[in-house]
C-alpha cells in the first residue's frame, strides 16, 4: 500500500458487445477483449476501485492499493448487465456505471433522448448497485451540456441525480459528461447541482491534484489491442492515438501543446 501520490488510470468504456450497433461500434469493446483486459489486470496485480472509493481515499488521505485502476462505463447499455457484470464478478472486480436516466429501458414518462443500443432497466440498475457497482449519472437525455441554456442545463443535471437517488436510496455524487464535454460554466452548474466529482475524457491518468470536476479518463475502444491496453494502465508511453484524441476532445487550443507531447512521447 502506498499514499495517493501517483496518477490513477481511469478507463472509459461504453458498450461491451459481440455485435455492436452502427452507433456504438467505434466505442464498443468485444467481450473476448474485455475478458482479456480483466485477465491482464488480475495477472499484473491491479486492484479495481470505484470513483467513489477513489474520492474517499483522496478526501480522507487514506492509502490506496499499489496498482489501482478505475473502470467506468458510460450510457447504461444492457450489455453492462448481461456481459460486463458476470465478467467483473469472475475477476472479483468492480466498476462505476454512468446511467443516462432518460435512456433507461423502462423510463416510461421520463423517457428522453435516443439511445444508441438496448439499455438497462431500472431493476437491472438495482441489481448492479446490489453487486457493488457504483451508479453515477450521465445526464438525463445525453445532451451536449455546453450547448444548453441555464435552466435546461440545470434540469439535465438535477433530474438524472434525483431519479437515481430516489431509486437507489443513496447519494449519487458523481457524473460523467456526455461526449466528455465540459466548460467552466457546465462545471459550475454540476457543482451547484450537488455533484462532487465528474469524469471527462482527456486521455491522461488522473492525478491526486486534478480538478475533481474534470477527472480525466482514458478511452478503451474496439481497436485497443492488449499491448496498448497494458501500456495505458501502466501509465507509460501513451501511444500517439491517445494524444490525437485528446486534441479532438479538448478543442483546438490544445492542439499545439498535444503535438509537443506526442513528439515527447515518441522520442522518450
Ligand atoms: Zn455517453
Q: Is 62 among the domain residues?
A: yes
What is the rounded distance in angstroms from the CA atom of residue 176 to the CA atom of residue 12?
Answer: 10
How many residues are recorded in the chain?
268
| Low-confidence residues of the chain: pLDDT under 50 | 1-4, 239-241, 243-244, 246-268
- Ligand 1 centroid distance, CA of 96 (Å): 13
**Residue ranges making up the domain that contains 255:** 237-268
Q: What is the pLDDT of residue 204?
A: 74
Regarding whether 47 and 74 lie in a shared domain, the answer is: yes
Q: Is 33 among the domain residues?
A: yes
Regarding whether 121 and 220 lie in a shared domain, the answer is: yes
Regarding whether 168 and 258 lie in a shared domain, the answer is: no
- Ligand 1 centroid distance, CA of 171 (Å): 21
Q: Is 5 among the domain residues?
A: no
Distances (CA, A) of 195 to 170, 174, 188, 199: 13, 6, 10, 11
Regarding whether 106 and 22 lie in a shared domain, the answer is: yes
Q: What is the pLDDT of residue 6?
A: 66
Regarding whether 244 and 227 lie in a shared domain, the answer is: no
What is the rounded distance in angstroms from the CA atom of residue 70 to the CA atom of residue 148?
Answer: 30
Q: What is the pLDDT of residue 236?
A: 66
Among 15, 76, 65, 11, which residue's Cα sits nearest to residue 230?
Answer: 11
Regarding whether 260 and 197 lie in a shared domain, the answer is: no
Q: Is 151 among the domain residues?
A: yes
Q: What is the pLDDT of residue 191?
A: 97
- Ligand 1 centroid distance, CA of 134 (Å): 16
Regarding whether 137 and 51 lie in a shared domain, the answer is: yes
Q: What is the pLDDT of residue 176?
A: 98
- Ligand 1 centroid distance, CA of 179 (Å): 6
Say how many domains are in the chain.
Answer: 2
Q: Is 208 among the domain residues?
A: yes
Regarding whether 224 and 171 lie in a shared domain, the answer is: yes
- Ligand 1 centroid distance, CA of 138 (Å): 7
- Ligand 1 centroid distance, CA of 202 (Å): 15
CATH code, domain carrying 79? 3.20.20.370
Q: What is the pLDDT of residue 5?
A: 54
Q: Is 124 among the domain residues?
A: yes
Regarding whether 242 and 230 lie in a shared domain, the answer is: no
Regarding whether 179 and 89 lie in a shared domain, the answer is: yes
Contact of 52 with 72, CB cutoff 8 Å = no
| C-alpha torsion angle, residues 31, 18, 128, 125 (rounded to 10) | 160
Would you state the cell numbers that stand for residue 156, as one nine-digit string?
A: 439535465
Amino acid at each position: 500500500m502506498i499514499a495517493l501520490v501517483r496518477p490513477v488510470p481511469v478507463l472509459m468504456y461504453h458498450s461491451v458487445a459481440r455485435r455492436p450497433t452502427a452507433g456504438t461500434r467505434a466505442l464498443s469493446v468485444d467481450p473476448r477483449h474485455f475478458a482479456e483486459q480483466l485477465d491482464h489486470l488480475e495477472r499484473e496485480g491491479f486492484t479495481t476501485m470505484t470513483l467513489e472509493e477513489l474520492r474517499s481515499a483522496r478526501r480522507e488521505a487514506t492509502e490506496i492499493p499499489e496498482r489501482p485502476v478505475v473502470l467506468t462505463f458510460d450510457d447504461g447499455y444492457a450489455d453492462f448487465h448481461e456481459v460486463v457484470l458476470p465478467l467483473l464478478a469472475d475477476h472479483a472486480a468492480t466498476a462505476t456505471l454512468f446511467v443516462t436516466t432518460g435512456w433507461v429501458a423502462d423510463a416510461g414518462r421520463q423517457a428522453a433522448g435516443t439511445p444508441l443500443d438496448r439499455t438497462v432497466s431500472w431493476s437491472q440498475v438495482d441489481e448492479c448497485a446490489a453487486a457493488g457497482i457504483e451508479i453515477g449519472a450521465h445526464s438525463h437525455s445525453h445532451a451536449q451540456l455546453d450547448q444548453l441554456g441555464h435552466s435546461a442545463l440545470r434540469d439535465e443535471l438535477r433530474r438524472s441525480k434525483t431519479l437515481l437517488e430516489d431509486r437507489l436510496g443513496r447519494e449519487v455524487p458523481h457524473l460523467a459528461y456526455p461526449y466528455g464535454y465540459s466548460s467552466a460554466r457546465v462545471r459550475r452548474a454540476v457543482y451547484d447541482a450537488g455533484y462532487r466529482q465528474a469524469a471527462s475524457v482527456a486521455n491522461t491518468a488522473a492525478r491526486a491534484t486534478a480538478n475533481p470536476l474534470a477527472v480525466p479518463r482514458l478511452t478503451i475502444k474496439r481497436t485497443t489491442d492488449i499491448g496498448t491496453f497494458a501500456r495505458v494502465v501502466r501509465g507509460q508511453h501513451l501511444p500517439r492515438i491517445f494524444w490525437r484524441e485528446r486534441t479532438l476532445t479538448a478543442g483546438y487550443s490544445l492542439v499545439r501543446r498535444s503535438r509537443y507531447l506526442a513528439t515527447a512521447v515518441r522520442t522518450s
